[in-house]
Amino acid sequence: MPSKNKVPGAKVQFKANQYMVYLIFIVVLVFFAIWLGNSFFSMSNLMNITRQTGMISVMAVAMTFVIGSGQIDLSIGSIVALSSLMSAITLQKTDNIFLSVFVALLLGAAIGAINGFFITIVNIPSFLATLGMLSVIKGLAMWTTATKAIAIANTTFSNIFGMGLLFGVPIVLVWTLLSLAIGDFALRHLAYGKKVMAIGGNTTSAIYSGIKVRKLTTLVMTFSGVSAAMAGIMYSARMQTARYTYGEGDELSVIAAVVLGGTSMAGGSGNIIGAVVGSLLLGVINNGLIIGGLNVSQQMVVRGLIIILAVALSTIGNRKKSRS
Amino acid sequence: MSDHVLTLKGIRKSFGGVTVLNNVDFCLKRGSVHALVGGNGAGKSTLMKILTGVYFADAGTIAINDEVTEINSYSDARKNGIGIIFQELSLVPTLTVSENIFLNNEIKRGGVLDKKAMNQRTRELINSLGVDINVEEKIENLDVGYCQLIEIAKALSEKSLILVMDEPTASLSDKETEILFRIIRELKSKGVSIVYISHRMNEIFQIADEISVLWNGRIVASQPTGNYTMETLIHYMMGETNEKAMAWKVRTMPVGNQSILDVRNLTLRGKIDDISFSVREGEVVGLAGLMGSGRTEILECIFGKRRYDAGEIRINGDLTRFRSIDQAIKSGIALVPEDRRRQGLVLVHPLKDNVISTNYASVVKNGVIRANLVRQISERAISAFGIKTNGIQTRMLNLSGGNQQKVVIAKWMNIAPKILLMDEPTAGVDIGAKAEIIEIIRQFTSQGNAVVFVSSELSEMMAICDRIIVLSAGKISETFDHAQIHSEEVLQHAIQK
């Protein structure tokens, strides 16, 4: 039965239920555990999943602010590629870990700030501005390296950002939890988070409240660029090589994770923990299907169906709640 | 067949245990205007949403021409000849005027949209309203008042038997209201029946044939208009009379000599022309005028929202030229904007997030927002301004218009302003809340602060303004001291000149 209380003319906001993602996550986890047994549900495989999803999670944290502020960032996948290559080249030339990380993060920040400039000053919709940037940055990554991979010999670098363990915990998980903690704190306890969500909820009202909308939107895009650069560093550290193919299509996984996590595509709200769980959910699905023996094409079909099902379930839960 | 085109019987509705409508009977005579009045939250909008299929009644019947009818959706309502002009504008901002009017009702030729015919029909409709709007202009580029007229034109285009008008004049100027009344009379003569919801008592006495009063979900009076006086009507609405709130009150603190705000030769090309005035401590200066007379633009220039072409603005004698709103806020200027839904609030956010949105610094300690400070400030606002809400977590879209407006005022009081600019602060607000808002302004000025007050409701300007500046086409045409204004007619006359 359709909802009776829809006000004609009201904007339909797509928003997944805030908590449904946790339930779906557990259901999917239990399903794979029963189906695949120990080959899936072992400590080593679960840790493996957190390693594979760490980069998506880190970017999903920043993307929650981007979507919450009413924007989108499609350029992150390319920023991953370029920053991973630049950090690898710097490392090859100087063997200085600090400098290499600094260069990559600065690059991410600069690209994010340029995105912000186009969105807030030139007034290009973020979808188009970052779609263009996706192509420009990807092209630069391929051009500057002549599409060659760059090896990373520095094992300390690899250990810190991708391969190592800290007190027995995979280092990638540590970085994921760190960015989750920072993002969640900023969203809920800093004026920054409140202002960003006010911008996404109603930009006009935010302007009239004296909130510096342009400055903050640029900042949000900058942090998104930084998070993508961080993901690029993590990719190359984990693989001990940098390649221009890293991050390809990641923007879509990141957006899917954020929306699964209960952040409204209409802007104005955000759920950081949900976004990270959303990213883990995608990782679990990928991993389970591989272990389950599906070939690449089958994986794609099933993964897509599961994502649609998961989002559908979330919105059904949401629709019931709004019926009063 | 009786002469009732619409009969609602025993309508009940409750939301989550709270009874909103309790056994409501309502009859509408053919070719008449039946006003429905009541305070915010009395149940008017809910009753109309049941009539138009937006909500479904828990009990009761709806009869059209004595025939009991099920109305389960808006399209059912349309099929039964019921049209509604929404209080919340239902126009699509990115479509043009004519595209909106013919939305879902398009004129086609061989399956293809006949734009020429639609534009022509729209032009006729708009012209019949006595206004001049480019029908190919997008809604987002038009002022609120025009949008309301287009909304009315849209309802007219659908050839309704029963037309529901929910606060149709909230954003109309007096001249536009006259146009609307002319249209209503024409419709009546053609046999259309109208349910008219308004907070403006004067209008209701002018246009309604019958008046029903809703109070707390029940009809407490339903009689021909002639049986009411303003006092008895307000008495029914309020339970207790409080019409005295709209009377002038002598200040507890007299207006000072120090001028707080000085505007000299302010000019914004095409909008305002050589405007000069000053506001002293404890003074309320009103800007009266029709829509488009430059009222809003003057406030926005002072507030740093608009750049002006020429002139000076001084705050406490210091020359200022704000380049952004946050600079104006730092100088102690606040603006309660014209459109609280679009400019004043983030409707999807809870009360507490809206209240702090002008002054995050007031809730931040060591860089972190303190939940207990947010709670304190929000709860203080709720009690100081008498905001009716379930709590500080309630989202703004669940509050009534009057309470939303109080939140807007609360969020601006949170910066402890010295100068408060108010643009139509009582639009679409019931008379009780209106009186409370007037009282808030009195309190504010008694602390030596200054107010610039813009309103289309002259009675409330007369109740609160020490001076009233009348604007016409961006220029000051006349200035009245409070003592000079003996009646609303004097002011009305000056505005219409």
Secondary structure percentages of chain A, helix, strand, coil, to 5: 75, 0, 25
Q: What are the distances in angstroms from CA A303 to CA A245, A284, A313, B483? A: 21, 10, 15, 76
Is residue B301 within 8 angstroms of chain A, CB to CB?
Answer: no
Cα(A253)–Cα(A57) distance, integer angstroms: 10
B2, A311 Cβ separation under 8 angstroms:
no
CATH of the domain at A294: 1.10.3470
Query: How high does pLDDT run on average in chain A?
Result: 89
Instruction: Kindly report the nearest CA distance between residue B370 and chain A, in angstroms.
Output: 7
Positions of E strands within A68-187: 150-151, 165-166, 169-170
Give chain B's domains with CATH numbers: 4-243 (3.40.50.300), 246-496 (3.40.50.300)
Cα(B341)–Cα(A205) distance, integer angstroms: 8
Q: Reduce the DSSP state of residue B27 to 3 states and report it.
A: strand
Listed residue (A48, A24, A90, A88) closest to A234, CA to CA: A88
Q: Which of A69, A205, A216 to mutate to test the interface with B (most CBs of B within 10 A)?
A: A205
Cα(B306)–Cα(B303) distance, integer angstroms: 8
The token duo for B455 is 């309103």
ipTM here: 0.78
pLDDT at A3: 36
B110 CB contacts (<8 Å, ≥6 apart)? none
Residue A140 belongs to a domain: yes
Q: pLDDT (tens digit, 9 = 90+) per residue, A177-221?
A: 999 999 999 999 999 999 999 999 999 999 999 999 999 999 999
pLDDT at A322: 41
CA-angle at A84, arms to A78 and A87, nearest 5°: 135
Percentage of chain A with pLDDT > 70? Answer: 91
pTM above 0.80, yes or no: no
Residue B422 backbone zone (phi > 0: left; psi -120 to 50: alpha; other: beta) = beta
Number of domains in chain A: 1
pLDDT at B289: 83
CB–CB of A9 and B348 under 8 A?
no
Q: What band does A13 get if pLDDT is binned at 50, 70 and 90?
A: very low
CB–CB of B342 and A210 under 8 A?
no
Residue A1 belongs to a domain: no
- From the list B90, B305, B343, the residue facing A8 with the nearest CB is B90
Pairing of strands B467-472, B284-288: parallel
Q: What are the distances in angstroms from CA B478 to CA A246, B277, B427, B491? A: 70, 12, 24, 10
CA-angle at B264, arms to B259 and B268, nearest 5°: 135
* In the block, residue with structure tokens 């009646």: B487
Residue A10 belongs to a domain: no
Q: Reduce the DSSP state of residue B452 to 3 states and report it.
A: strand
Q: What band does A5 get if pLDDT is binned at 50, 70 and 90?
A: very low
Residue A12 belongs to a domain: no
- From the list A8, A13, A206, the residue facing B54 with the nearest CB is A8
| A residues 6-25 closer than 8 Å to B (CB) | 6-10, 13
Chain A residues closer than 8 Å to B15 by CB: 324
- From the list A4, A211, A324, the residue facing B56 with the nearest CB is A4
Q: Which of B52, B349, B408 to mutate to test the interface with A (most CBs of A within 10 A)?
A: B349
Residue A9 belongs to a domain: no
Q: Reduce the DSSP state of residue A10 to 3 states and report it.
A: coil
How many other C-beta atoms can be found within 10 angstroms of the C-beta atom of residue B278? 15
pLDDT at B20: 79
A65, A270 Cβ separation under 8 angstroms:
yes
Chain B residues closer than 8 Å to A207 by CB: 305, 325
pLDDT at A10: 37
Buried b (16+ CB within 10 A) or exposed e, B299-309: bbbbbbbbebe
Q: pLDDT (tens digit, 9 = 90+) per residue, A106-115?
A: 999 999 999 9
Residue A5 belongs to a domain: no
pLDDT at A11: 40
Q: What is the domain range of residue A154?
A: 20-317
A251, A279 Cβ separation under 8 angstroms:
no
pLDDT at B244: 56
Cα(B58)–Cα(B43) distance, integer angstroms: 14
Q: Which of B330, B348, B363, B398 to mutate to test the interface with A (most CBs of A within 10 A)?
A: B348
Q: Reduce the DSSP state of residue B365 to 3 states and report it.
A: strand
pLDDT at B235: 74
Is residue A249 within 8 angstroms of chain B, CB to CB?
Answer: no
Chain B residues closer than 8 Å to A324 by CB: 15-16
DSSP B339: -
Residue A6 belongs to a domain: no
B119 CB contacts (<8 Å, ≥6 apart)? B98, B135, B136
- Which residues of chain B are modeled with pLDDT < 50? 240-242
